[in-house]
A and B are shown apart, each in its own frame.
Chain A
Amino acid sequence: MTAFFESLGMTYEWAWFIATVCGILLIALPLMLAVAMIIYADRKIWAAMALRRGPNVVGPFGLLQSFADGLKVFLKETIIPTSANRGLFLIAPIITFTVALIAWAVIPFSETAVLANINVGLLYILAASSLGVYGVVIAGWASNSKYPFYSALRAAAQMVSYEVSIGFVLLAVVMYAGSFNMQTIITGQQGHIFGFINAYGFNPLLFPMAVVFLISSMAETARAPFDLTEAESELVAGYQTEYSSMSFALFWLGEYGNVILMCALNAVLFWGGWLPPVDWAPLYYIPGIVWFFLKIWCFFFIFSWVKATVPRYRYDQLMRLGWKVFLPLSLIFVFLISGWLMLTRYDPPPASVTNDNQDLRWVICDGGGLVEPDPECADQEPAG
């Protein structure tokens, strides 16, 4: 896109700047539309599993329900509690919303469509998702109210706990792909299984990691069954209790933006991203973005399905799952995977590499009769 703006007679810097702004809008605006539709889909799936009809009044099949809700909250009055910390109270939903958007900068939608194809893409995602907790914590604290505060503490503990195992899962994928770059991770999955299935997820060493990641991503986005931060039977509405109008809506948009992001990450890391599921030439005629959206949609359906069927976890169960089940499991698999890769993929380092670091080479000069001394030791006096 930069080249196009340069052809309009701009300098490179300005062309790059305007192209990037256009790119951001091209991602952020459809994302908002996607959030509106995904909220509708969530409610429909949830309703269908509870044998209800769900939203069905506004527009055909109730398709416009989310927009009607959006319009409604937009017209409501913003209420700020008198004892709230005003500045922080207003900035919290903005943080949640912004952080939900920034991570999309590195998600590749097809072979060429990615805003920032940086080589620390996955670390950027991890950084962005670790920022997500601040919106919730600040909201809970600034509300100056009992239940939001409890919710903030729960959110902080929950997200820090699950980020640890998510980090290990990402490490496993990075070791297989050999890069933190999202495009390299996706192209590395091409024909990964038997040369024709494009997914890391079917690899027996990575499948448990994929499951851990799916469950952790539900916990990370505080989705049911891990929605302890807004458990209505215990904490009213959690950190959102004191919010109204647009500030409330921003929390919702951010939350669902994060859910779609996590679905996209599941698709990118384990199930081939924009690659078709099978490495078969005719499938590549369908644009990558279609495959990517299909995969995101599948994962969103799983998220909704879980939300509709699984009862909420107790808080100690949540912590136990994070620290006592997922953390050891992912640690063991990082160990197994690195061992397997050392065994199969990596040759011993070439001689030139070892010679560069002469000072640190371990040379056996006196094997005590058990080991043959290195030939380099010929000119040295044997120890002892």
Chain B
Amino acid sequence: MIQAIAFYIFASVVIASGAMTILSRNPVHSVLWLILAFFNAAGLMLLIGAEFIAMLLVIVYVGAVAVLFLFVVMMLDIDFAELRAGVSRYLPFGLLIALVLLAEIVLAIGVWNFADIGPDTRLAQIDPSVPNIEAVGRALYDRYLLIFEGAGIVLLVAMVGAIVLTHRERSGVRPQNVSKQIKRRPEEATRNTNPEVGKGIEL
């Protein structure tokens, strides 16, 4: 019973905060609702026994991706009136995309339900004695090793590409040389003088 209660709480919060993400007028509120949705989705993952996926969802999406979202959205100077004016213009496109996505989901589930798929192949065989970190690790580093490493290289290339595209050489800047700063001693930078009274020092 506790599981059922928890499921309905998580599921309704996910849906409600998903709706609030697109309905709230302030973009920062949108991001915060999105974070709530991620968090509750992690709760749903826990309920079906996928604790590893749940933790990764929180660490990656809530802990890193959403922080950067929030960071960017908070710093934007947003004109709310302009933002609201745009809604009516983009609403048809938004609805169209939503309809296409809905149709695809309905189609996929329909095919799934009525197609001639045996019960064995519908669900992956799960060995309950193996913790799911181990199961995921076996699949990733054994069966799909090359594909997994390929994905890693694609991400690396994307990172390098982003740096190459945005990096520009600026002339006339004097970047810090940290090791030089640390090596500097008082003797190199200061000088003890004992000037006569009223003479001052020559710089």
Contact = CB atoms under 8 A, between A and B. Distances in A.
**Chains A and B form a bound pair:** yes
A128 B133 CA distance: 18
B97 interface: no
Contacts of B133: 119-120, 180
Chain B interface secondary structure, helix, strand, loop or mixed? helix
B59 A137 contact: no
Interface in A151-167: 152-153, 156-157, 159-160, 163
Interface string B108-152: 000000000000000000000001010000000011011000000
Interface stretch (B60-68, B79-87, B160-168, B189-197): B60-68
Given A137-B70, A320-B178, A160 B62 contact: no
Contacts of A138: 32
With a 10 A CB-CB cut-off, give which of B1, B32, B68 has the most chain A CB atoms.
B32
A130 B143 contact: no
B85 to A, nearest CB: 23
A192 to B, nearest CB: 22
Contacts of A137: 67, 70-71, 74
Contact of A120 (B2, B32, B55): B55
B10 to A, nearest CB: 16
A4 interface: no
Contact of B58 (A118, A131, A152, A160): A131
B159 interface: no
Given A120-B51, A141-B28, A360-B143, A130 B74 contact: no
Contacts of B146: 360
Contacts of A118: 51
Interface of A: 13, 17, 88, 118-120, 123-124, 126-127, 130-131, 133-134, 137-138, 141, 149, 152-153, 156-157, 159-160, 163, 180, 316, 320, 353, 357, 360
B97 to A, nearest CB: 30
B44 interface: no
A120 B178 CA distance: 40
B134 to A, nearest CB: 9
Given A126-B63, A180-B133, 13 more contacts: A123-B55, A127-B55, A131-B63, A133-B63, A133-B67, A134-B67, A137-B70, A137-B74, A149-B74, A156-B71, A316-B176, A353-B142, A360-B142
B100 to A, nearest CB: 34
B71 A131 contact: no
B35 interface: yes
16 contacts: A13-B2, A88-B29, A88-B32, A124-B55, A126-B63, A127-B58, A127-B59, A130-B59, A130-B64, A137-B70, A153-B75, A156-B67, A157-B71, A160-B67, A316-B176, A320-B178
B59 A156 contact: no
Nearest to B51: A120
B39 to A, nearest CB: 8
Contacts of A360: 142-143, 145-146
